Amino acid sequence: MKRLLIALLLVFISLPSLKAQERDLRFNKDRRFKIVQFTDVHWIYGNEASNEAGERMAEVLDAEKPDLVVLTGDLVFAKPAGKALQKVLEPILKRGLRFAVTWGNHDDEHDMARAELSHFIENMPGNLSSTTEGISGVTNYILPIGASEGNYDAATLYIFDSHSYSNIKGVKGYGWIENDQIEWYKKSSKAFTEKNQGKPLPSLAFFHIPIPEYTEAAADTGNFMVGTRKEKVCAPAINTGLGAAMLECGDMMGVFVGHDHVNDYATTWRGILLCYGRYTGGNTVYNDIPGGNGARIIELREGERAFKTWIRIKDGKIINMVDFPNDTK
């Protein structure tokens, strides 16, 4: 019995370090880091139309073999939300991949609140999703990416909770990233910059609802744009200044959202590439984007303020390749 207790104690002591090791993101030996973005899966448990989403996710993951999967909201579209969410994550879990989630405006409309959804996935293998206490929203957190060699951060991923709907009387439409979230980002960015000898770390941001700067960028006919644009930007009516904060911090290279199912374009806004993901779901909600469902891929290059991004759709087809910033100059 004594030996058994000692063995159990040793296992318990080793668990935190093992968990930390699993959460360590790094550029590979080729100084690359690849992300697959899935968005707007809109899974309805028991609805066969959702199976197409699972098939496409599996196809994309097998082709791309990413270092990280980021899911940018509206993953479930009916109750039971837990069972639907399990099906959404199944292709990722089966392949032992690391993943990060932020919620959209539909995820918590069924039988689970945002915090309950986060708790449901909390201990799933490979889950890097987290929360930052004391600020608005549930899925606000940072994922640093370590250098391929050495013990330092080489890039940063910011995950934001873009909320659901306006909470101000007389202001209709969708929610927005709140001022306290923006202050959290600014302080975090400043800390990373100071740690990096005053040089901003190359960064990307992921959330669900596009910020108003997407509207501004799309309206400028002189801007670089690649991809499909079949609907207007469904941004919030309130601009809380996240775009301005990104310019002030000087670290942000690209922003990646979902929400608008028949947009998948990438366009420039004041030196930042604003991107939509590709609608990933099956035929459970409007989705008449040419070529069908798929995913956006992002490949970072270590030591550069640069990345490539493209869309992968059915049967291995790749479209809308962008090499940022080279293609946008």
Position 12 scores a pLDDT of: 34
Q: Residue 11: its pLDDT value, please?
A: 33
Confidence of residue 24 (pLDDT cuts 50, 70, 90): confident
Strand positions, DSSP E, the chain: 32-38, 68-72, 99-102, 141-146, 153-159, 203-206, 225-226, 252-257, 266-269, 272-276, 294-301, 307-313, 318-324
Cα separation values, 197 from 27, 152, 161, 190, 200, Å: 20, 12, 29, 11, 9
Helix axes 51-64, 81-94, angle to 10 degrees: 20
Mean pLDDT for the stretch of residues 172-176: 97
How buried is 328 (Cβ within 10 angstroms: 0-12 exposed, 13-18 middle, 19+ buried)? middle
Cα separation, 160 vs 158, whole angstroms: 6
Query: Which residues make Cβ contacts (< 8 Å) with residue 247, sequence separation at least 6?
Result: 270, 271, 272
Alpha carbon distances (Å) from 208 to 15, 30, 71, 143, 277: 33, 31, 9, 17, 10
Domains of the chain: 25-328 (3.60.21.10)
For residue 50, what pLDDT is reported?
98
- Beta pairing, strands 32-38 & 68-72: parallel
C-alpha dist (Å) from residue 251 to 37, 57, 256: 20, 30, 15
pLDDT digits (tens, 9 = 90+) for 254-267: 999 999 999 999 99
- The answer to whether 72 and 258 are in contact (CB under 8 A) is yes
∠ CA 146-313-295, rounded to 5°: 35
190 C-beta neighbours (distance < 10 Å), count: 14
Q: Mean pLDDT score of the chain, rounded to an integer?
A: 93
- The answer for 273, left when phi > 0, alpha when psi is -120 to 50, beta otherwise, is beta
> Any idea which residue has 């993101």 for tokens?
25
Helices 179-195 and 242-249: crossing angle in degrees, nearest 10, is 10
The CA radius of gyration of the chain, in Å to the nearest whole number, is 19
Cα gap 118→110, rounded to integer Å: 14
| Residues facing 300 on adjacent strands | 33, 307
108 has a pLDDT exceeding 50? yes
Q: What is the pLDDT of residue 23?
A: 57
Per-residue pLDDT of 286-316, as tens digits, reads 999 999 999 999 999 999 999 999 999 999 9
- The confidence score (pLDDT) of residue 245 equals 98
Judged against a pLDDT cut of 80, whether residue 235 lies above it is answered with yes
Kindly report, residue by residue over 178-214, the tens digit of the pLDDT: 999 999 999 999 999 999 999 999 999 999 999 999 9
**Helix orientation angle between 114-121 and 81-94, rounded to the nearest 10 degrees:** 40
Stronger pLDDT, 11 or 145, i.e. the higher one: 145
Unique residue bearing structure tokens 């050495």: 150
pLDDT of residue 44: 98
The answer on pLDDT for 20 being more than 70 is no
Task: Using alpha carbons, select from 136, 185, 192, 197 the residue that is nearest to residue 161.
Answer: 136
Model pLDDT for residues 73-104, shown as the tens digit of each residue: 999 999 999 999 999 999 999 999 999 999 99
Q: Quick one: average pLDDT of 55-59?
A: 98
Least confident span in 4-13, 91-100, 122-131, 180-189: 4-13
